[in-house]
Chain A
Amino acid sequence: VTSLLSESGCYSVVLKARELVFASFFLTLERFPAWQVGVQRRKCEMSTMFADTLLIVFISVCTALLAEGITWVLVYRTDKYKRLKAEVEKQSKKLEKKKETITESAGRQQKKKIERQEEKLKNNNRDLSMVRMKSMFAIGFCFTALMGMFNSIFDGRVVAKLPFTPLSYIQGLSHRNLLGDDTTDCSFIFLYILCTMSIRQNIQKILGLAPSRAATKQAGGFLGPPPPSGKFS
């Protein structure tokens, strides 16, 4: 009796009791079909999740193609756009070549000539952006409606498992409207954004609809701070 009442005795009794409780608990569960159903349900959930993952990639491809299709119908096939684009590319390349060949000791007239060309290019880029504005409104309108629909379909559903824990300010997006605290659960919107970022530009490049680099570089002045004019600033 005294050995049982000692500290080590009590501890070993508790451990033994715990073993017996767990053993009987699991033996009981195994007999119940509900536990087996739970395992099957979990397997189903996983398959549904992967199906959702693939579906979102497919949706992203379709929406990227839709966006390019709308832009082609409203913008790319118009003569005005084709003319402006060719003009901008020609001017951009000409300007780049001129800037490469000009030296520090270039005359004032040459510098003024380049500034005039830059101004002309900036105006053409602005006109080009105005032409694209039409499609941007149409796409924005379509996609707002589509996003509303997809958000309600995938609301609260875990569509993928992230192999990393996102940073706290990204969790607002990756764990949006999801239950639980598992931050590796991925929501629809996060996966959709990643898919769009990767797929859209590749589709544009494959279809040959991406703007040229020279034009994009020079166009930076319209949408943001102008590119430095280097030797003349």
Chain B
Amino acid sequence: AAGGGKRSRLSRSWPTGPSKSLSGARCCGATRPGRTRTGFCNLGQDEFLDVIYWFRQIIAVVLGVIWGVLPLRGFLGIAGFCLINAGVLYLYFSNYLQIDEEEYGGTWELTKEGFMTSFALFMVIWIIFYTAIHYD
């Protein structure tokens, strides 16, 4: 697989051949049991950032529901969301996928992808569930 310092799950060679990603001959490998063979094969930069984006929205909805039901109040809730959102995604692409962040624009680019939209979505869900359960 092509260059880079980090050994990446996305960079292991794949029997079907090289991907059409922006990084050239980089491929993915589904080495974990249960994952499909297509996995992240052939994902370009834009497609991978879309995955990150939608993953963020899902986290925002889930945390908004949990925070609203508990309920978690105050800036602790907001800070908790920011940390969990950024932390989970960072662990996902850094430890689990082990990608080379520079291939996708750097850690900052991956961290900020869809963050503001997910934050707004989290706030809306949080407010709705909090109002419905604890004030209705």
Contacts and interface: CB of A to CB of B under 8 A. Distances in A.
**Interface size grouping (class) on chain A:** 20 to 34
A161 B134 contact: yes
A135 interface: no
Interface in A42-56: 46-47, 49-50, 53-54
Contacts of A49: 131, 135-136
B127 A191 contact: yes
Interface of A: 46-47, 49-50, 53-54, 57, 97, 160-165, 186, 191, 194-195, 197-199, 201-202, 205, 212-214
B67 interface: yes
Nearest to A96: B22
Nearest to B71: A163
Judged by DSSP, the binding face of B is: helix
A46 B135 CA distance: 6
A53 B57 CA distance: 20
Contacts, number: 74
6 A-B pairs with the lowest CB-CB distances in the bound complex, closest first: A197-B120, A198-B121, A198-B120, A163-B130, A161-B135, A50-B136
**Interface size grouping (class) on chain B:** 20 to 34
A163 B77 contact: yes
B128 interface: yes
Interface string B75-117: 1011000000000000000000000000000000000000011
A50 B74 CA distance: 20
A165 B75 CA distance: 8
Given A197-B116, A198-B121, A164 B131 contact: no
Contacts of A205: 50, 53
A50 B133 CA distance: 10
Given A50-B131, A186-B127, A198-B117, 6 more contacts: A46-B136, A161-B127, A161-B134, A164-B78, A202-B57, A202-B121
